[in-house]
């Protein structure tokens, strides 16, 4: 197991997960990652509710069951029409405390949420880790904070 994964498992390290492409595989279309490329995502979500049929990813599921639930958080960019289904997904598939699931309107708000969480919990920023699939988002967080940044692929090589 990598040193980074050991660090994430340690008591006192708070882990904040993204949803799309992290806790939920981003595979909504038929032989395509996107269900409606360039189309009406809102209508698709309201008709098909893709998050309600999404399954947990085994590597993430294994991590979550070993981690103190008080140290697990979610922060996802989500429109109003996505939030309820995303919340149900996180609770059903990963048992995340509903009070630890947070939705924001932009990536910038997500980055503020992560740094504010360290302040709110009164812990050093490096004890808060953001798990993301977007390298750009991780780079931005690393550039203006001391938070730990983790690309989702770290969970897949042991």
Structural domains present in the chain:
3-156 (3.40.50.620)
Q: Which of 18, 30, 156, 40 is nearest to 90 (CA)?
A: 18
Is the pLDDT confidence value at 39 over 90?
no
End-to-end CA distance of the chain: 5
Rounded to the nearest 10°, the torsion over CA 35, 141, 91, 47 is: -20
Query: In the predicted model, is pLDDT for residue 26 greater than 90?
Result: no
pTM, two decimals, is 0.94
Q: Dihedrals φ, ψ of 24, to 5°?
A: -120, 130
| Residues 87-128: tens digit of each pLDDT | 999 999 999 999 999 999 999 999 999 999 999 999 999 999
């Amino acid at each position: 197991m990598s040193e980074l994964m050991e660090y994430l498992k340690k008591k006192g390290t708070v882990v904040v997960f993204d949803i799309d492409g992290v806790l939920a595989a981003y595979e909504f279309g038929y032989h395509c990652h996107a269900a409606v490329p360039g189309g009406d995502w809102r209508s698709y979500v309201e008709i098909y509710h893709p998050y309600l049929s999404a399954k947990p990813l085994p590597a993430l599921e294994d991590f979550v069951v070993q981690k103190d639930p008080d140290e697990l958080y979610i922060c996802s960019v989500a429109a109003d029409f996505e939030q309820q289904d995303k919340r149900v997904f996180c609770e059903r598939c990963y048992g995340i405390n509903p009070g630890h699931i947070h939705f924001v309107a932009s990536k910038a708000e997500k980055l503020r949420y992560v740094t504010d969480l360290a302040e709110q919990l009164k812990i050093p920023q490096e004890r808060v880790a953001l798990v993301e699939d977007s390298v750009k988002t991780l780079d931005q967080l690393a550039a203006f904070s001391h938070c730990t940044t983790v690309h989702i692929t770290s969970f897949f090589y042991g």
